[in-house]
Every structure is written in C-alpha cells, then in structure tokens.
Amino acid sequence: MLTEDELALLEAIRETGSLSRAAARLGRAPSTISHAARQLEARFDALLFDRRRYRLQLTPAGQLLAQEAARLMHDVNRLTRRVKQVAGGWEDRLHIVTDELLEFETLLPVIRAFDKLDSGVSLRLTHEVLGGTWEALREGRADLVVGATNEPPAIPQLRWFELGHMEWVFAVSPRHPLAKAGEPLTQDVVSAHRSVVVADSSRGSSRGYGVLGGQATLAVPTMHAKILAQRDGLGVGWLPRHRVSALLKSGALVEKTMADPREPNVLFAAWRGDHDGRALAWWLEQIRQPRLARRLIDGVPIGG
C-alpha cells in the first residue's frame, strides 16, 4: 500500500512532467522528490519514471501503479468512513420494503430529508405484495416493512404499529356489463366476470386482492396497472377508494354496491427488535407522523 505522500508524488509527476515542478507543487525540495521517486522504484524493483525525454513521464508500470494505488486509497478512505459511520450508530445500509399498495412517489420527500442527514447509509427500497412483505421481514431481506397488510405473523422479536386504514370501492368501467347490473351485486353475479388481481409475491402463493373461488383472473404487476385495467373494462374488482376518487367523479369508473361490503384494510409498519440503528429509528419517527402515514395510504389519485 502506498502512502498519501507517495500517491501525491505520482500524481504530481504525472501532471507536471518535471521533478522540479512536482517539488514546487508539493512544497518540497527537488532533491527530496528525486530521492522519493528512486525509493519507489527500488521498492517495486521496476522502472516507474521515464527520464530519457525532456518531459518526465510515468512508464506503463508507473501508470498502472498510480491508477491501482489511487483506487486502493479510495477504497480505504471509503472503508474508514463506513467504519466511523457504523461506530456512530448509523447502519451501513437500510433495506425498506413497502407493500405494493403504497406508491414510491409518496416517499420521495422522506428520502430527500434523509439525504440531508448526510449519514452515509445506503438506502434500498423495494416492494412486495400481500404476504411477500411479511416474508421479506421474516427472511431478513428487509429491515423495515411499510404498508404490510393482514395481521402481523409470528416473527421473532417482531415489533409493529398500525399505519392506518385503507378503504376500498368495488368499481367497473361504464362499458363493462356489470356497470348496469342491479344492486347490490352478489358474489355469484361477480364471479361470472373476470377479476383483475395483483398477485401475492410470497413464494408459493397464488393469492390476490379480492379474488372469489373459481373466478377467472387477469394478473397484473401493480395496483396502478389494476386500476388502469379496470378502467379499460378488462375486469372487475376492489380498488383503493382514494386512488380512484377522480376516476369515479369523472365517470371513468362506476362504483357498485356489494351485498358483502369489504372492510377497510389495516396497514402496518414493522421491524425486528434486534435492529436498532439510527437510520431505522429516523425512518420510524417519520412514518409515525399522522400526515405522512395518511399520505402513504391515500397515495396519488389517478386523474379522470
């Protein structure tokens, strides 16, 4: 490993092409710089400086040494910062998993605020669906889950709180046959039509939101895609009321009364009690704030 002085020497010679100019840049005597250059060559038993020309240059071996040494020094400096970061209580990285029901756009202001802390923590944000969110926490693929649905499962040292409630509406395109069907709609009537679903991302599961037994389904990757598919008459199903409020108001979707109404879903934030870094604590403090929690649950309404 080269010292910072030796790295500076290589860089100064490469840029100035002269021992005297390199010495002036580094504030050292030319004889000191010349001695240091020869010591480097002796240590590596290689010709590092081409002295045959008017302009002093690094040989190919010298260029390789300068490049690799600079890279190694950068890695050491980065490692030093990370060690100090972790020693100060900050995690090296934080993996946040949100249920797909929550939209990434609603987290952008929180990410910007976190960046201002200059903590050095690497953030990773991904999403799962239904049981996949809890599964990510159980398997250690998430440090924090936000917007998880269903009751918290049995996970060692699980800690959680309620984020809030999401209300649902059964809605169809005005062009869909159910748009003019008599109300309230029964399960038998609905099951004769294809349902649009966002499939559970947990391994080995085939569940989806609001699927009736034996009903034909169109599986789509996101809730946003589900809303668009139902707006276009490709199927029916339950949708987050706030997200489709503009579509209902404009008539792009038609609300139907159901014989068996769907209760609001409780959404949870959860983490493992054995994880107590400063980044996790900061994120928990943010999402506990009622205004942010409500914004996360309501999402961004799709225009009509």
Last residue of a domain, one of 65, 87, 109: 87
Domain of residue 285, residue span: 93-166+265-298
* HEC sequence for 55-90: CCEECHHHHHHHHHHHHHHHHHHHHHHHHHHHHCCC
Quote the radius of gyration of the chain (alpha carbons, Å).
Answer: 30
* Co-location of 162 and 172 in the same domain: no
CA dihedral in degrees (176, 182, 188, 189; nearest 10)? -20
183 within some domain: yes
Q: 219 in a domain, yes or no? A: yes
Buried/exposed 200-230: b ≥16 CB within 10 Å, e otherwise: bbbeeeeebbbbeeebebbebeebbebbebb
* Whether residue 60 sits in one domain with residue 15: yes
Do 269 and 158 fall within a single domain?
A: yes
In a domain, 290, yes or no: yes
Q: How many domains does the chain have?
A: 3
Residues of the chain predicted below pLDDT 50: 206
Is residue 156 domain-shared with residue 275, that is, in the same domain? yes
Q: What is the pLDDT of residue 102?
A: 92
Segment (H or E) for 195: strand 195-198
First vs last C-alpha separation in the chain: 63
Shared domain check, 81 and 8: yes
Same domain, 201 and 162: no
Return the CATH number at 153: 3.40.190.10
Q: Are residues 58 and 32 in the same domain?
A: yes
CA 274 to chain CA mean position, Å: 22
pLDDT at 57: 80
Domain presence at residue 260: no
11 and 135 together in one domain:
no
What pLDDT was estimated at residue 210? 52
Q: Are residues 35 and 47 in the same domain?
A: yes
Domain limit, last residue, from 51, 71, 87: 87
Task: Say yes or no: 238 and 193 in one domain.
Answer: yes
Last residue of a domain, one of 31, 57, 87: 87
Instruction: Assess if residue 304 is contained within a domain.
Output: no
Give the model's pLDDT for residue 204. Answer: 53
CA 279 to mean position of chain CA atoms: 14
Please check whether residues 212 and 234 belong to one and the same domain: yes
Domain for residue 73, yes or no?
Answer: yes
Residue 77 forms part of a structural domain: yes
Q: Which of 46, 52, 39 is nearest to 65 (CA)?
A: 46
Whole-number Å distance between alpha carbons of 57 and 193: 77
Q: Please give the model's pTM, rounded to 2 decimal places.
A: 0.74
- pLDDT at position 232 is 96
Residue 303 lies in a domain: no
What is residue 213's predicted lDDT score, i.e. its pLDDT? 63
